[in-house]
A and B are shown apart, each in its own frame.
Chain A
Amino acid sequence: MGEVILTMEGIDKSFPGVHALDNVSFELRRGEVHALMGENGAGKSTLMKVLTGIYKKDSGTITYDGKEVEFSNPREAQHAGIVIVHQELNMLGHLTVAQNIFIGNEYMKGVLIDDARMNAEAAKLFKRLNIDIDPAETMSKLTVGKQQMCEIAKAISHEAKVIVFDEPSAALTESEVSELFEIIRDLKKKDIGIIYITHRMDEVKVITDRVSVMRDGAYVGTLISENSTKNDIINMMVGRVIYEEPKMASKVPKDAPVVLRVEHLNAGRLVQDVSFELHKGEILGFSGLMGAGRTETARAIFGADIKESGDIYINGRKVEIHSPEDAVKCGIGYLSEDRKRFGIVVQRSVAENSTMAYLENFMRGLFINKKKERMEAEKYVESLAIKTPGVDQLVVDLSGGNQQKVVLAKWLVRNCDILIFDEPTRGIDVGAKSDIYKLMNDLVKEGKSIIMISSEMPEVLRMSDRIVVMCEGRKSGELGIEEATQEKIMHLATQEN
């Protein structure tokens, strides 16, 4: 490890309602692989976005190569030698690999682009990195893993001094991961500093020198990878900052009837042979890492995506669900993780949104009975404590937590018995969070059943009666609340097959 190339000190960043980064510090040396770990939402990506100029920091200093810097966009950071390999790919599917790598920096021969030279340069680059990709191949024809390799190659082509990898291994196969590690070791030798964001514990030992852990937007500490154990890191990541004590025991009677049974559900790469049961009055937590296939499972059950095979039983009776319409008729409601895209109709009012799924109940002949609609909406505005000037308010003007409650109201109006909450508290401030928790507990007391998908471990432990853990599209385990601990869940979620 060489001298320090990058230090970030006292970085603060707030978004409306969320304190995303709270006095975070970080240090990187030349030729070092520094792992950055933490749960989803711990602030790792935000920190990197502040570093590369995508976000503007509120306070704190960034010192790079001996000088204090502040980049106003990723391109500036790139020119200075800091590049980021994003988790989501920024590829141009219709262009070739070489054309992608050199986009914006084409080699020219007069007015014409010198594709031959670009191919040759790309081939040289691949050879140096020991990757087997044809530079003239069309990007969209490569596997996601290979595409990721191209992104990495593109980053390296920029003469970088610092490279940030944002969960590079998430989409890679095992052999591709070892290829990636070879590349990283090679980069290390060239004295390039590498920030490596990951969720996989076992990678820390294999490839990194140091590991820094973040939690809830704050810096927790740094360990030397060699001297640390998996448990050390997990303990640092999960901490003990839970708003309340976790549920100690399930209150659901053992013989509670099964309201929903899913058998051998298959839908694409991220839903493979998933089976589980949901009991009446139960909150079933779905835990796992990002991209483990939880949302995909929920969408397949709800009929939002096409499923390939699998049976769904509701109250013991087999049902055919081919569209959300069918699912709603079966009494299932789905609260999406992406409210803006899938949950609310932003340009319409609170009242209109809340009756969206059950408009037929508010008809008087041909016309919508607006009085009844408003009364029903007002009822839920009150019982869910939705903060809005009135039910005619456009949903776009509400805060995230209140938008979430409007979506919930939509399903309560429909009187759905089975509710799927997908990341119910994402992007919601702390106060609104406990409101949502209380609501969920009230709902199950009324005899409704809830599937709760959540990436926040304390939330899962606090709310669930049972926990299903998913890993890479498969169900990797199921835990009763009595036996579940954060460590156990993390082990199941990071299970290597």
Chain B
Amino acid sequence: MTRQLQKMPDLSKKIIQRLGGQRVAVFLIVAALFSFFCIASPNFRKYSTTLSILDYSYYIALIGIGVSFPLITGGVDLSIGTGLVCYSLIGGYLVVYQGWPVWLGMIVCILCGVIIGALNGVLVGVMNLPPFLATLCTMMMTRGLGSIFSTGLGISWPSLGQEGGWFRTIFKLNIGGYKLPLGFLWILLLVVLMSTVLNRTKVGRYIIAIGSNKEATRLAGINIKTYYIITYIISGVFAGIAAIAYSAIFASVYPGTGAGFELEGIGGAIIGGVSMTGGVGNIVGTLLGVFVICILKTGLPFIGLQANWQQIITGIVLITAVLIDLIRHKRAMKLVTAALKKQ
């Protein structure tokens, strides 16, 4: 009997460990934030609000998943925000002004992501530029390219009912006047897929290894240049998918926007437990982290704060998340030293 009792907390500890302490904590934060806004504002409780949170979450979640990979290698990808707008503008331009079918426009979005991602990968992995600087440049370049392509105009992908408008139902299905957030399902599927890639494939394994100890990975005979390029291509592809989500959710896309989206994606990833120091991260955590940001973003206007406060809050949230990450890192180091001393 006593033995069983002693075993009990062990078991719950194991469950928490399995789920990841951080993920549980972030999940609780998501729940707490959601409940807070629900209590504070009756309007927040409406189904339409939940829908709009989800609407906002798709593109942020997608770039968040993508950027988790460069972050885990110890780098960063700043080009995802302006990138997604750029790809959406290019794809949309081809669909709206050149009469390309919508599905081809969607493929173009992803293809653009691959190209910019590969460029980032070469700059970082082969040419050895600091990741933040290389991607800062591509950030500005994609912003310019998007505007050049769309000749400075906003672009509206076909809306529901128009020819090609079907693609909007990928993310929101309308059945008998009831709106179903289908996009959430795709996000969940992608989370499962990318979790598998990160944890169960060579690509993921070597990405973690590079973030953990670049030199040791190289000495193990792994071609780290290739894996840097793959890392940034993943990030680019997800920016491409995010471009599709963004085009499908919002009526129009405007050139010159998109700066700042990357912050929400990166912020979500860091809140979700991706470490700035590299080597640590999980995709489920990133998704939860993105929801912290999305709920804040959608909820703040309900308690009377203007939308502009969102930017300030995201900034503060990001800095706090990094600070916590650094403190955690320090504490882990201390624990190791303490253990060694005991020896």
Q: Determine whether A and B are in direct contact in the complex, meaning some CB atoms lie less than 8 angstroms apart.
A: yes
A92 touches B217 (CB 8 A): yes
Contact with B along A95-113 (1 / 0, CB 8 A): 1000100011010100111
Query: Nearest A residue to B219 by beta-carbon distance?
Result: A90
Which 3 pairs between the two chains have the least Cβ-Cβ distance? A94-B279, A90-B216, A104-B220
- A272 to B, closest residue via Cβ: B341
Of B209, B332, B336, the contact of A95 (CB 8 Å cutoff): B209
Q: What separation, in Å, do the CA atoms of A111 and B196 have in the docked complex?
A: 10
Assess whether B341 is in contact with A268, with CB atoms less than 8 Å apart.
Answer: yes
By a CB distance below 8 angstroms, the chain A residues around B208 are: 92, 94-95
Which residues in A have some Cβ–Cβ distance to B below 8 Å? 74-75, 90-95, 99, 103-104, 106, 108, 111-113, 115, 140, 143-145, 173, 268-269
- Chain B residue with minimal CB distance to A74? B219
Q: Which residues of B contact A99 (CB under 8 A)?
A: 205
User: Of B201, B209, B221, which contacts A111 at CB under 8 A?
Assistant: B201
| Contact pick for A93, options B222, B279, B340, CB 8 Å | B279
By DSSP majority rule, is chain B's interface helix, strand, loop, or mixed? helix
| A143 with B343: CB separation less than 8 A | yes
| Per-residue A-contact encoding for B74-97, CB less than 8 Å = 1, 0 else | 000000000000000000000000
Q: Which residues of B contact A93 (CB under 8 A)?
A: 212-213, 279
Q: How far is the CA of A348 from the CA of B295 in the complex (A)?
A: 51
B210's closest neighbor in chain A, by CB? Answer: A92
Q: How far is the CA of A95 from the CA of B332 in the complex (A)?
A: 15
Contact indicator A145/B343 (Cβ below 8 Å): yes
> With a CB–CB cut-off of 8 A, which chain B residues contact A268?
337, 341
CB pair A115–B209 under 8 Å, yes or no, is no
How far is it, in angstroms, between the C-alpha of A140 and the C-alpha of B339 when the chains are bound?
11
Cβ B205 vs Cβ A113 within 8 A: yes
Q: Mark B320-331, 1 if CB is under 8 A from A, else 0.
A: 000000000000
With A90-B216, A93-B212, A95-B212 as contacts: A173 and B343 at CB distance below 8 Å: yes
A106-B205, A140-B332 given. 4 additional CB < 8 A pairs? A92-B209, A94-B212, A106-B202, A143-B339
Residues in chain B near residue A104, CB distance under 8 A: 220-222
Interface string of B187-208 (1 = CB under 8 A from A): 0000000001000111001001
The count of chain B contact residues (Cβ–Cβ below 8 Å) is 26
Selected from B201, B211, B221, B336, the residue in CB contact (under 8 A) with A113 is B201
Chain A residues lying within 8 Å of B202, measured Cβ to Cβ, are 106, 108, 113
B221 to chain A, nearest CB (A): 4
Chain A nearest Cβ from B36, distance in angstroms: 34
Given contacts A144-B340, A269-B341, whether A91 and B196 have CB atoms under 8 Å apart is no
In the bound assembly, the distance between CA atoms of A104 and B202 in angstroms comes to 9
29 contacts between A and B (CB under 8 A): A74-B219, A90-B215, A90-B216, A91-B213, A91-B216, A92-B208, A92-B212, A92-B279, A93-B212, A93-B213, A94-B211, A95-B209, A99-B205, A103-B205, A103-B209, A103-B217, A103-B220, A103-B222, A104-B222, A108-B202, A112-B196, A112-B201, A113-B201, A113-B205, A140-B332, A144-B340, A173-B343, A269-B340, A269-B343
Within the complex, the shortest CB–CB distance from A297 to chain B, in Å, comes to 16
Chain B residues near A143 (CB, 8 Å)? Answer: 339-340, 343
> Hey, which chain B residues are within 8 Å of A106, CB to CB?
202, 205
A290 to B341, CA, bound (A): 18
| A94 neighbours in B (Cβ, 8 Å) | 208, 211-212, 279-280
Chain A residue at smallest Cβ distance from B341: A269
B215 partner residues in chain A, CB cutoff 8 A: 90
Chain B: minimal CB distance from A253 (Å): 40
How distant is the Cα of A75 from the Cα of B222 in the complex, in angstroms? 10
Cα A247 to Cα B172 in complex, Å, equals 87
B337 touches A113 (CB 8 A): no
A89–chain B nearest beta-carbon distance, Å = 8
- B332 cross-chain contacts in A, Cβ below 8 A: 140
Contact B201 A90 (CB under 8 A): no
Give the complex CA separation of A94 and B217 in angstroms: 12
Q: Which residues of chain A are within 8 angstroms of B219 by Cβ–Cβ distance?
A: 74, 90
Residues in A neighbouring B217, C-beta threshold 8 A = 92, 103
Q: Once the chains bind, are B200 and A115 in contact (CB under 8 Å)?
A: yes
Known: A106-B205, A112-B201, A144-B340. A92 touches B222 (CB 8 A): no
Question: Would you call A95 and B205 a contact (CB within 8 A)?
Answer: yes
For residue A111, which residues in chain B have a CB less than 8 angstroms away from its CB? 201
Complex interface: chain B residues within 8 A of A74 (CB): 219
How far in angstroms is the closest Cβ of chain A from B106?
A: 25
Alpha-carbon distance between A90 and B211 when the two chains are bound, in angstroms = 14
Most B Cβ at <10 Å: residue of A91, A103, A144, A268: A103
Contacts of B280 in A (CB 8 A): 94
Residue of A nearest to B277 (CB): A94
- When C-beta atoms are compared, the residue in chain A nearest to B220 turns out to be A104
Q: List A contacts of B201 (CB < 8 A).
A: 111-113
Find the A residue at minimum CB distance from B335: A141
Partner of A75, one of B205, B212, B221, B340: B221
B82 → A minimal CB distance (Å)? 31
Q: Considering the chains assembled together, what is the distance between the CA atoms of A90 and B202 in angstroms?
A: 19
Chain A proximity of B275: nearest CB distance (Å):
9
What CA separation (Å) do A268 and B342 show in the bound complex?
11
**A90 vs chain B, min Cβ distance (A):** 4
* Chain A hits for B341, CB < 8 A: 268-269
Given the contacts A106-B205, A115-B200, A173-B343, A92 and B216 also touching, CB distance less than 8 Å: yes
**Bound Cα distance from A300 to B219, whole angstroms:** 33
With A and B bound together, what is the CA distance between A91 and B217 in angstroms?
9
Interfacial residues of chain B within 214-243, with CB under 8 A of chain A in the complex: 215-217, 219-222
- Nearest chain A CB to B217 CB, angstrom units: 7
Proximity string of chain B (248-290) to chain A, C-beta cutoff 8 Å, 1 when within and 0 when not: 0000000000000000000000000000000110000000000
A111 and B204 CA atoms in complex are apart in Å by: 11
**A128 → chain B, closest Cβ, in Å?**
22
- Name the residue of chain A whose CB is nearest to the CB of B336: A140
For A94, A103, A144, A269, the residue with the greatest tally of chain B CB atoms inside 10 Å of its CB is A94
CA distance in complex: A460, B23 (Å): 56
